[in-house]
Amino acid sequence: MIIDGLQCGHFDREAFQSLQKAGVGGVVVTCGFWEGAVESLDSLGRWRDLVRENADVAEIATTADAVDRIGRSGKVAVILGYQNANLFEGRIRFVELFAELGVRVVQLTYNNQNELAGSCYEAEDSGLARFGKEVVREMNAAGILVDCSHVGDRSTLDAIEASSRPIAVTHANARSLFDHKRNKSDDVLKALGQTGGVIGCAAYRNITGDDYCRSIEAWCTMVARTVEIAGIDSVAIGTDRSHNFTAPDYAWMRQGRWTRGVDYGASAAGRPLKAPPPDWFQKVEDLNVVPGGLRAVGFSDREIAKITHGNWLRLYEATFRKQ
């Protein structure tokens, strides 16, 4: 079984069926990028409807046990996540309320600095702000996993320190392997490794680089090098794959409502739209080559199980509220 630490886009029945064919038993879905509380409740409502309408292939999971059970039953466990903290609208009390509604993963900030933390794209990362520290503690208590994928390195290190539970970088790579603002320093990866945190290795070309996208063995070599930095218990998969994304979706993802101009996110002016997926990952179904690829670069069955799902399950068990 594969657990994918982060995907986004407009899921539909076909997406769930592709994930089934890929051997993906659990996936953290992106319920929002910039949306405030009301729009985030809208999104939760739509996700509930979508999953209810596809109950034979998908089910919302709110505990590690449920992810494991649903995935092993052959369905896709949907874990509700947000790539930004805007859903809380500056309210400490909203953390518990959204947790009760099933939200299990929240990224402290997305591409821009917010009231919680600095972003990987800001010239200066402030470190974790006052409200950010409050929210991290509240997420610990409410049972939501802290995600720092788009968060700046300094704020990420602060979050690791502030959090009483291990945290995640659900979808990024090691910057020492591919130099990109969205990727993480070795310091961050080592701190993750020392505290029980997990990084989901991304398969998004913009932050992976053409070399590691060339073949499944190349990508698994990147995973192996990440394991050398963070340790075997702290590396997993977070493809950052999107479903049914079109130009307006990328515009919303990158520009939201914060600029009248253009922003390229992880991309660059030269190729502003969707980067082509890795050569080995043209279709969602192709993700089923990962276990074999990990074996080809030398991982044992036990290590493969940790990378493909075991590390995420352990982290979910350590952080998700129990109901």
Site of interaction with a copy of itself (CB under 8 A): 36-38, 41-42, 44-46, 48-49, 89, 91, 93-94, 96-97, 100-101
- The minimum distance between CB 116 and a copy of itself, in angstroms, equals 18
- The minimum distance between CB 195 and a copy of itself, in angstroms, equals 30
β-partners of residue 81 are 30, 105
Contacts of residue 310, Cβ cutoff 8 Å, sequence gap at least 6: none
Identify which of 108, 99, 109 has the alpha carbon closest to the alpha carbon of residue 144. 99
Angle between helices 153-162 and 130-142 (to 10 degrees): 50
E strand intervals along the chain = 2-9, 24-30, 58-60, 76-82, 103-107, 145-147, 168-172, 198-201, 235-237, 241-243
Closer by beta carbon to a copy of itself, 13 or else 46: 46
Identify which of 291, 295, 292 has the alpha carbon closest to the alpha carbon of residue 309. 291
Closer by beta carbon to a copy of itself, 36 or else 265: 36
Closer by beta carbon to a copy of itself, 142 or else 253: 142
Cβ–Cβ under 8 Å, residues 293 and 220: yes
Closer by beta carbon to a copy of itself, 101 or else 318: 101
* 95 vs 134: CA distance, rounded Å: 10
The one-letter amino acid code at 197 reads G
Closer by beta carbon to a copy of itself, 94 or else 178: 94
Neighbours of 259 (CB within 10 A): 10
- The minimum distance between CB 58 and a copy of itself, in angstroms, equals 18
- The minimum distance between CB 12 and a copy of itself, in angstroms, equals 18
According to DSSP H, which parts of the chain are helical?
Answer: 13-22, 37-53, 64-72, 94-100, 130-142, 153-162, 186-194, 205-208, 210-213, 216-230, 247-255, 290-296, 301-305, 311-319
* 38 vs 228: CA distance, rounded Å: 43
- The minimum distance between CB 142 and a copy of itself, in angstroms, equals 12
* The pair of three-digit structure tokens given for residue 271, joined into one six-digit string: 């190729």
Cβ–Cβ under 8 Å, residues 29 and 11: yes
Closer by beta carbon to a copy of itself, 98 or else 280: 98
- The minimum distance between CB 94 and a copy of itself, in angstroms, equals 6
- The minimum distance between CB 112 and a copy of itself, in angstroms, equals 21
Closer by beta carbon to a copy of itself, 41 or else 275: 41
- The minimum distance between CB 62 and a copy of itself, in angstroms, equals 12
Closer by beta carbon to a copy of itself, 39 or else 263: 39
